[in-house]
Amino acid sequence: MVRTLPEGKTVFGVTSLGDEIYLLRLKSVDEVEVYDAISYCLLRCLTVPNSSVCVDMTSCKHFLCLYISDPIVECVHRLDLQGNATQWPVNDVPYGLSVNAVHNLIITCFEVRKIKEFSPRGDLLRDVTLPDDVIDPWHAIQLASGQFIVCHSSSIFNDPVPRVCKISEDGRRVVESHGGQKGSAVGQYNVPLHLAADDNEFVFVVDINNRRVTLLSPTLEYKRQVVASDQFKGYPIRLCLDAERRRLYVTDNEGMDGKLTAGRVVVFSV
């Protein structure tokens, strides 16, 4: 562990862009807190106008902007670094967000088991329906090959096969997978919720109920546990890899009676 960012409202997103770290907190104004990536000092706050409950955030280095998913309004908000905002409809419930190699936005819609690809202007380019056994997909990232890495599991419906999958570019078949049985042993998951990948396609997986971060090889073989449960105060739900600084930012949210009550971001060296 290198550092922790201040505790406050629940953190539903974390990303980095240039020399700054962005936190998405559960509040109605100043939802996005901006920190210096070297000193970790708070620099400013941004408000997401016309938002409801925002649940994930990612950034685009090419267009220097943030994307934020809003499942209540079923839209995505786009913010530039000065806080100027636009939004566009997804027409399904958006959840996890990522940006692919050609700078398009990848949106995971868990209720309909789809991945939607949007242009930076909000034009729907395509949607990909996932295989029948990929139940409640939470987050997807697209590799340079066009294949997707997807984590899926349901804490509500008790998905019997929580796992991380590599899926063909057309979404029709599972190419490789890791997991498939609920549990805490190596090779098992208990709600894998969020992903990050480095330039060599090694995959970091947040496993929320096991309170850990796992590292997988490019072929989704288990490599090691990156962060153990005793390094969190609560539950990790989001992560972001800053490959240039070799830093992993992981949200750490405390809960009570099934509700998240407070959160922070923990910074690890990787």
Q: Is residue 248 part of a domain?
A: no
Q: Is residue 150 part of a domain?
A: yes
Q: What is the spatial distance between Cα 134 and Cα 129, in angstroms, rounded to a whole number?
A: 10
Q: Is residue 204 part of a domain?
A: yes
Cross-strand pairs, 177: 165
Q: Is residue 42 part of a domain?
A: no
pLDDT in tens, 89-122: 999 999 999 999 999 999 999 999 999 999 999 9
Q: Is residue 3 part of a domain?
A: no
Q: Is residue 268 part of a domain?
A: no
pLDDT at 159: 54
pLDDT at 158: 55
Q: What is the mean pLDDT of the chain?
A: 95
CA nearest neighbour of 21 among 7, 10, 9, 5: 5
Provide the CATH number for the domain around residue 150. 2.120.10.30
Q: Is residue 216 part of a domain?
A: yes
Whose tokens are 């570019």? That residue is 169
pLDDT at 178: 97
pLDDT in tens, 238-268: 999 999 999 999 999 998 777 888 999 999 9
How far, in whole angstroms, is CA 2 from its chain's centroid?
21
pLDDT in tens, 54-71: 999 999 999 999 999 999
Q: Is residue 269 part of a domain?
A: no
How far, in whole angstroms, is CA 134 from its chain's centroid?
17
How many domains is the chain partitioned into structurally?
1
pLDDT in tens, 170-216: 999 999 999 998 999 999 999 999 999 999 999 999 999 999 999 99
Cα dihedral sign, 119-123-126-128: positive
**Dihedral-angle region of residue 246 (phi above 0 means left; psi in -120 to 50 means alpha; beta otherwise):** left
